[in-house]
Structure 1
Amino acid sequence: MTRSRRPDPPPMRTNDVRVALAGTAAWTVALITLLIIGVPADARWWLWVCGAGIVIGLFGAWYTPRLQSTRARQAADRSARRAER
């Protein structure tokens, strides 16, 4: 006997910019730590990894609000078109 499936819960609202900035801060701390303690010559690529994490995090913090506003605008347009029908 199969039971009826419960409806999916609504998506959780999160502050995605804060998450991106927290990750950026973590990469910044890692970079500063590596610069303070010194890195062997054969492991210098870790500095680039930290730098890339910082750049990607800053881009995410800049891009996320634009992405969310575009998605909200598209959803409003779709619902307006459905209401016209």
Structure 2
Amino acid sequence: MANERTERAQPVELGQRWKDPAPVVIAISALWLLGLFAALATGHWSGWGEACLAGLVVGTLGFALFLSQRRAARRGDRTAQRGL
């Protein structure tokens, strides 16, 4: 019975299609951009126009950081995050 508790099930390996974050980031960025255009077209800049612009900027910075960490991990840098 002790062996049953210590043995862990191995997780199922995901396909490459499910590991790539780029399609999700592109879709969400497109929605932020659409919201920004809608804010500019309707004149609601001070409300949700600024929020849409901030979403685009923060998303771009976050994705750039992710890409640089993944590049460093593939190069084999010691300080890079693993599993990206």
Q: Same fold by TM (over 0.5)?
A: yes
The 2-side partners of 1:36 and 1:18 are apart by 27
* CA distance in structure 2 between the partners assigned to 1:46 and 1:16 by the alignment: 26
Displacement of 1:73 in angstroms is: 3.5
**Structure 1 residues 24-60: Cα deviation after superposition (integer angstroms, max 9, x where no partner):** 1110100111221232xxx823221101111122223
| Aligned CA-pair RMSD | 2.9
- Moved segments of 4+, more than 4 Å: 1-5
**What stretches of structure 2 of length at least 5 have no aligned partner?**
79-84
Normalized against structure 2, the TM-score is what?
0.60
TM-score (norm: length of structure 1): 0.59
Q: Which has the higher contact order (CA 8 A, sep 6+)?
A: 1
Question: Following superposition of structure 1 onto structure 2, how do residues 1-85 of structure 1 map, counting pairs within 5 Å?
Answer: 6-13=9-16, 14-39=19-44, 44-74=46-76
Q: Please give the alpha-carbon distance, in whole angstroms, between the structure 1 residues aligned to 2:75 and 2:14.
A: 18
User: What is the rounded CA distance, in whole Å, between the counterparts of 1:67 and 1:12 in structure 2?
Assistant: 21
Identity of aligned residues (%): 25
Larger Rg: 1
Number of residue pairs the alignment of both structures matches: 73
